[in-house]
Amino acid sequence: MLLLGSHVGFKKDSQLLGSLEEAFSYGANTFMFYTGAPQNTNRYPIMDGFTLEAMNLMKEKGLDYSKVVVHAPYIVNLANDKDPDKFMFSVRFLQEELERCELLGIRYLVLHPGSHVGLGVDTAISNIAKGLNMILGTHPVTILLETMAGKGTEVGSSLEEIKRIIDLVDDKEHIGVCLDTCHLNDAGYDMSKFDSFLEQFDSLIGISKIGCVHVNDSKNDLGAHKDRHENFGFGTIGFDNLISIIYNERLENVPKILETPYVDREFAPYKYEIEMIKNKKFDSQLIEKIRNQV
Ligand code: FE
Ligand code: FE
Ligand code: ZN
């Protein structure tokens, strides 16, 4: 079954229930959320009442709860330990994030590997593994390392780097990968040759390690190392390539998540994009429709 959704909000006064209702309003059958703002680490306590209500609603509607994912905030950076206090802050925050995931019944946490900020890739990789080894295995949650665009000093823009991190992680059962099509394109992986990409992934890391796919189009050319998401079908990857990734049989049970930009920074595109993906037919008027809410 196609598992398709988008990232949704997580608000103080509705929490998981609000996230779920937002997902349903887009016609999604899965979703991803941040446990607070994506760009900071301020977090409210998890309220069990909302979680319970959401769980019941998911059961009632047949939404596969085990596939819902949380995304850690961007500012968590395990790659750099130049400032030990900052590094330990990231470790502790992730530890708490795993606790929140467990309270919410979430099994997958997507994490950006981090940026080395001058330390070099080798040191960064061992720092990331060191941080992960401090927290993994303490909760029944799997951390999915996201493939990155290679903007600035980002680590994890090649499958080899991702593999090197995984190799150093002790608890192999709780480490996996989140593919991001925009990031892969910007890192130089040609998404029009996705089957051969998957082959390469399988021989290096193993397809079973893929726990989530972010299905974003890109504003930039192959290998641009930029990381700017575009609406589905309107970027350099294009509709047909993204559709074949979404419907690839080898990734059938993996949730596909849209992180495409709001139109005019105001209108969520997800309901429209999800419908277009289900129709498997590109609508060149989609952005106009979203803008005018038709
Ligand atoms: Fe991400
Ligand atoms: Fe992403
Ligand atoms: Zn991105």
Q: What is the DSSP string of 2-27?
A: --EEEEE---TTTHHHHHHHHHHHTT
pTM for this structure? 0.98
Give distance in angstroms: CA of 225 to centre of ligand 1: 15
Q: Taking each helix axis from N to C terminus, what angle separates 48-61 and 15-25, rounded to the nearest 10 degrees?
A: 30
Question: Looking at residue 180, what is its pLDDT?
Answer: 98
What residues form DSSP beta bridges with 108? 69, 142
Rounded CA gap, 105 and 93, in Å?
18
Ligand nearest to the CA of 212: 2
Residue 282, sorted as left (phi over 0), alpha (psi -120 to 50) or beta, turns out to be beta
Q: How far apart are the first and last CA of the chain?
A: 28
Q: Which ligand lies nearest the alpha carbon of 114?
A: 1
The rounded Å distance from CA 179 to ligand 2 centre is 7
Tell me which ligand sits closest to the C-alpha of residue 112. Answer: 1
What is residue 294's predicted lDDT score, i.e. its pLDDT? 85
Tell me the ligand closest to 257's alpha carbon: 2
Neighbours of ion ligand 3 (CB under 5 A): 227
Tokens describing residue 174: 């709780």
Sign of the alpha-carbon torsion through 216, 240, 237, 125: positive
Determine phi and psi for 178, rounding to 5 degrees.
-115, 120
- Look at residue 249 in the predicted model and tell me its pLDDT: 97
146 CA to centre of ligand 2 in angstroms: 7
Give kind and range of the element (H or E) at residue 167. Answer: helix 159-168
Q: How far is the CA of 6 from the centre of ligand 2 (A)?
A: 11
CA–centroid distance, 150 to ligand 2, in Å, is 13
Cα of 52 to ligand 2 centre, how many Å? 28
Give the pLDDT of the chain (294 residues) as one tens digit per residue: 999 999 999 999 999 999 999 999 999 999 999 999 999 999 999 999 999 999 999 999 999 999 999 999 998 999 999 999 999 999 999 999 999 999 999 999 999 999 999 999 999 999 999 999 999 988 999 999 999 999 999 999 999 999 999 999 999 999 999 999 999 999 999 999 999 999 999 999 999 999 999 999 999 999 999 999 999 999 999 999 999 999 999 999 999 999 999 999 999 999 999 999 999 999 999 999 999 988
Question: Whole-angstrom Cα distance, residue 143 to residue 52?
Answer: 24
Ligand nearest to the CA of 38: 1
Domains of the chain, earliest start first: 4-292 (3.20.20.150)
**What ligand has the least distance to the C-alpha of 111?**
1
Residue of 287, 227, 233 whose CA lies nearest to 263: 287
Ligand 3: centre distance to CA 105 (Å): 26
Say what the pLDDT of residue 101 is: 97
Give residue 50 CA to ligand 1 midpoint distance, Å.
25
Cα–ligand 3 centroid distance for 181 (angstroms) = 9
What count of residues does the chain have?
294
